[in-house]
Amino acid sequence: MPAAPAKPVLLTGASGNLGRVLARELTALGWTLRLTDIAPFPDPVPERASFTRMDLADGVGLLRLAEGCGAILHFGGISVEQPFGTVLGPNIQGLYHVYEAARRERARVIFASSNHAIGFHERPQGNAAKLDVDCAFRPDGFYGLSKAYGELMGRTYWDKHGVENVNFRIGSCFPEPAEARMLATWLSFADLVRLCEAAVTAPRSGHCVIWACSNNPASFWGRDHRDRIGWQPRDTAEGFRDKVGHITSGNPVIERYQGGGYTAIDYSRGKPSAPDAFDLD
């Protein structure tokens, strides 16, 4: 088990489902956390943590909150598909404020990206190759588009300012898989906590991207940068196959693409786009 970070860690989105898990589990491991969210923290604030209610639009407030922190776990912002105007402020402007705080503090950013940044890649069939992390972005909506932008911002801040960042392309992080697609995409809470440990405590990360899913044989995803931070998932969705393997949407768009249900929201094409992102057909 890695030692707790020497400096405090800022956790945005602390009042969300994943933020609450991380607040509880990381403080139990001895971490000192500064928690923040636009919504009140719904649980008792753990020992070794403090909570500040704040909007990501408050760039000055975020700078102050990040002072002295060694890392920022950025799980804040809009976490589901929403209209562009709703996503724009928290997920674009708010992310900029996070990176400016990290630049000043020389802190590492751990960014909760998403599989929806690549959601319009087709699911691999049979022996088809799995998708590697250097694939083209193919966002499946405005939420996924904001996550692609977030990864590119990390690339920019690494190249221009040397701000290290680890981007988690989170699949489906729930207590257990709920349908057949999650046999490929599921990330257990325990594997998420271990991933955060590895991302924060690794000696170096540079700019890297991780497929954030558990050890699922059915995974859609192949190579990534996990060796750079020393993370390997321990859990697997396979134990839930009999329970959920038969549960599908019945929607051909949802079942075709890796992004699942998000791909069908406002979908208006007459026929599917080509598997190659730049083909006309």
In a domain, 31, yes or no: yes
Chunked into runs of 10 residues, the chain (281 residues) has average pLDDT values of 92 98 98 98 97 98 98 98 97 98 98 98 92 97 98 98 98 98 98 98 98 98 98 98 98 98 97 89 74
pLDDT of residue 112: 98
In a domain, 278, yes or no: no
Provide the residue range defining the domain that includes 89. Answer: 9-264
Asked if 123 and 257 touch (Cβ cutoff 8 Å), the reply is yes
As annotated, the active-site residues are 143
In a domain, 2, yes or no: no
Q: The CATH number of the domain where 52 resides is what?
A: 3.40.50.720
The pTM of this model reads 0.97
In a domain, 272, yes or no: no
Q: Which of 165, 202, 138, 151 is nearest to 3 (CA)?
A: 202
- Alpha helices (H) in the chain, listed in sequence order: 17-28, 59-66, 84-88, 94-105, 142-161, 182-185, 189-201, 226-229, 241-244, 252-256
In a domain, 3, yes or no: no
Asked if 124 and 220 touch (Cβ cutoff 8 Å), the reply is yes
pLDDT of residue 280: 81
Number of independent structural domains in the chain: 1
pLDDT of residue 277: 83
Q: Which of 34, 29, 27 is nearest to 54 (CA)?
A: 34
pLDDT of residue 221: 98
In a domain, 269, yes or no: no
In a domain, 150, yes or no: yes
Q: Nearest 5 degrees, angle CA 231-CA 235-CA 241?
A: 140
In a domain, 271, yes or no: no
